[in-house]
Amino acid sequence: MTDKAPIDEGDDRNNSRRANPVDKHVGERVRMRRMLLGMSQERLGENLGLTFQQVQKYEKGVNRIGASRLFDLAHVLGVPIQFFYENMPASVSGLVAAPGMAEQGGDTYVADFLSSRDSIELNKAFARITDPRVRRSIVDMVKSVAGEDVTPP
């Protein structure tokens, strides 16, 4: 007989490389905000006293972010703590919004869009265009490329 306790298959320590869906979502939100700010993983790590590898693991959801670290991240990234949980699908959180209290339009397309470097660069460049006619023509062109009908102004 051994002194070791039986292994609990649900214990996260035994699946350390598999990201928990909530940790993954929070990590994706950290990455999105960091990229929106144009901040490198290295710089974020420096601000938090971490290595960029630790930041990478947080962003992938491999390492859980503790309460005090989440507080620090919110401060450094300039967002409220709730930001990291926004747009979390009910399938991830296991929570179902109360009837009448749910936000309209549960689409997560904005968060999905802003999770890639190309999308963020496109967004920043588009925001610098001051001529409304040029902006409208770009929107129409993108819709056309995407196969959507373009409606005249």
3-class DSSP state for residue 20? Answer: coil
Sign of the CA dihedral with 33 first, then 36, 40, and 43 last: negative
Domain ranges of the chain: 10-93+109-115, 116-153
> Per the structure block, which two tokens stand in for 105?
């339009």
Other CB atoms within a 10 A radius of the CB of residue 73 amount to 24
d(CA 52, CA 43): 8
d(CA 13, CA 88): 24
At 66-79, the pLDDT tens digits run 999 999 999 999 99
Q: What angle do CA 108, 34, 24 make, to 5 degrees?
A: 50
pLDDT at 94: 66
Query: What distance lies between CA 73 and its chain's CA centroid?
Result: 13
d(CA 31, CA 35): 6
Ranges of residues in the chain with a pLDDT under 50 are 1-2, 4-15, 96, 98-106
pLDDT at 20: 85
DSSP string of 115-144, one letter each residue: TSHHHHHHHHHHHT---HHHHHHHHHHHHH
pLDDT at 64: 94
In order of 18, 31, 79, 82, the CA distances from 56 in angstroms are: 14, 9, 19, 21
Please give the model's pTM, rounded to 2 decimal places. Answer: 0.62
pLDDT at 123: 82
CATH 1.10.260.40 fits 10-93+109-115, yes or no: yes
